Amino acid sequence: MKNILEAPFVKEMVDVTSNLYRLGWDERNGGNVSYLLEEADVREYLDTANVLRNIPMDFDGSALKGNYFIVTGSGKYFKNVTQDPANNLGILRVAEDGQSVDLLWGYTDGGVPTSELPAHLMSHIARLEVDPENRIVMHCHATHLLAMTFSHEMTAKAITRTLWEMCTECMVVFPEGVQVLPWLIPGSNEIGEATAEKMKQARLVLWSFHGVYGAGRTMDETFGLIETAEKAAQVYTYVQAQGGVRQTISDENFIALAKQFGITPNPVFFEAGVPNA
């Protein structure tokens, strides 16, 4: 079999965790990433009949039974993934009982997947319902987005409009907008269920005083989604420091932008709705 460390999906996980740490979005063991894999791809590198360990989880993942994921580990520092992927990452298969996962590779020190695995799986289930090609769920503590949850009105419309207005590309990148949640206990099924419900409406969910969840079809799409929103939040921070907004992009500008790029922005984020683009 091929060397698992040469697998494209392992390399993608190594690269993205390194970038998340480099940008300061995943300090210490903060943040987690899960990547839904094709069984055929996994079989090129692993004997899928060789289960190293069975790991229980407090969640019924029957909707995903038999599916394979590569997932960051609980308590693992993203800065260490590059040097030791096998200890900090794991390849899992949701077991037939739906209440546990089979470990096929990784977590070599006896570790387990992120404590937010149920939240990830719930979001995967939700996103697959609206986009069967969704593969990635990514959680990080993007600095400026996190800061906004302390100082900005925390409604989906208010947050979305501000981010759209801070950078012209934002509405093009996330025309469905951003959903928001109040503070909830990390790692709990409650926050997982609430996030999954919001994920049916948008690929970005902002957790108050904690961070952001993003979803997408590829690692680049998902990382770029969060990156774009974070850049807009950074611009917002600078604008506030400069004395606040004096002029901004208008609804008419947004409608023209939507027509130019052939997108349909979420009409609830416009004052009087948006006509067909």
Active site residues: 116
- Range of 22's domain? 1-114
Q: Do residue 87 and residue 10 come from a single domain?
A: yes
What CATH number has the domain bearing residue 275?
3.40.225.10
22-42: pLDDT as tens digits: 999 999 999 999 999 999 999
129 with 166, same domain: the answer is: yes
Structural domains in the chain (count): 2
7 shares its domain with 121: no
Kindly state whether residues 127 and 99 are assigned to the same domain: no
pLDDT at 271: 74
Which one of 44, 79, 114 terminates a domain? 114
91 and 133 housed in the same domain: no
Residues 142 and 163 in one domain: yes
CA distance 261 to 141: 30
152 is in an annotated binding site: no
Is 141 annotated for ligand binding? yes
Say whether both 110 and 121 belong to one domain. Answer: no
Answer yes or no: is 144 a known binding residue. no
pLDDT of residue 273: 55
Pairwise CA distance, residues 186 & 77, whole Å: 17
| Average pLDDT of span 142-151 | 97
- 85-118 confidence digits (pLDDT tens): 999 999 999 999 999 999 999 999 999 999 999 9
Last residue of a domain, one of 63, 79, 114: 114
> Hey, how many other C-beta atoms are within 10 angstroms of the C-beta on 108?
15
